[in-house]
Structure 1
Amino acid sequence: MKKKDIILIMIISFIIIICLGINKYISYKKGEFIEIYVNNKLYKQVSIDSKEEFTIETKNGYNVVKIHDKGVEIAKASCPDKVCVHAGIIHKPNQSIVCIPNKVNIKIITNEKNKPKEDIIVK
């Protein structure tokens, strides 16, 4: 290998290490609450530390939600494709599980103080 090849490999390696560090720093935040929306309305807000299982029933079907191990998952659903069930457990802020046929949206959020403030509000 030539000297230029070694320099190029070192530069690419350095860029990869920096990107991994930035990714680790961004995903370091811990989720504190789980928000569950049904038909775009807040159905329930639960602490991420709780352990519970409940069923959400709508006119479109049902979803069995399990909260455990500082995360949340949909264990069973009546939707035909079961994409929400295959999403698995989520535990990081801004991750979400969506069941479109049953109109259920589950997301993990951080403390209200840490949320970015809106710059512009449009009516």
Structure 2
Amino acid sequence: MKKKDLFLGGGILFAACVLFLVMNLMQYVQAKENGQKENQEKQVVIKVDGEVYGRYALDEDQVIEVQEGDFYNRIRIEDGKAYMEEADCPDGYCEEQGKINNRTQTIVCLPHKLVVEIEEVENSDDSQNEKEHLPDTISK
């Protein structure tokens, strides 16, 4: 065995160890971010003509009836998902859009200018506890 082969083997072993540590660090950071996301509560936000009609907890089963002027929509929140249960719009596409439970998904009823979307908000209890532990002033 030559001296160069020994250095090459040691270099490869060192690179593998560094790569292993970097991968473990990335997993740790990702797990920590997922833990923070669990503290976020999801809300169903209903907007009519660009204005917020109401905000509703996604984890609470309920039915929201929206009646503005001549139109009627019924949104059902069930098992952590929201969907358009009934609408009196002429095309009915909003009823076919399925169930949503993620902030990247929306339900849109164009004839009624109604949008149903999911938002993530911080739990007020956790953020309040963090605010209580912050100092009021910092001095030298």
Which interval holds the TM-score relative to the shorter structure?
0.5 to 0.7
The answer (yes or no) to whether the contact 1:60–1:101 under 8 Å persists in 2 is: no
**Aligned partners of 1:60, 1:87: CA distance in 2, in Å?**
22
Instruction: Give the percent of matched residue pairs that are identical in Structure 1 and Structure 2.
Output: 28
Task: Count the aligned residue pairs.
Answer: 87
TM-score (norm 1): 0.63
Q: Which residue of 2 aligns with 1:106?
A: 116
Choose the corresponding residue for 1:69, options 75, 79, 83.
79
Q: Which residue of 2 aligns with 1:38?
A: 48
Rg larger for: 2
Q: Which consecutive unaligned segments of at least 5 residues does structure 1 have?
A: 1-24, 114-123
RMSD (Å), alpha carbons: 2.1
**Aligned partners of 1:67, 1:57: CA distance in 2, in Å?**
17
SS at 2:94 equivalent:
helix
Letter of the 1:101 counterpart: P
SS at 2:99 equivalent:
coil
- Structure having greater relative contact order (Cα 8 Å, sep ≥ 6): 1
SS at 1:85 equivalent:
helix
Choose the corresponding residue for 1:91, options 76, 101, 115.
101
Letter of the 1:55 counterpart: E
TM-score (norm 2): 0.56
Runs of 4+, deviation exceeding 6 Å: 28-31
Query: Per-residue displacement from partner, 1:15-47 (whole Å, max 9, x unpaired)?
Result: xxxxxxxxxx9xx86761111001110110111
Letter of the 1:110 counterpart: E
The answer (yes or no) to whether the contact 1:35–1:42 under 8 Å persists in 2 is: yes
1:94 Cα shift? Answer: 2.1
More helix by share: 2
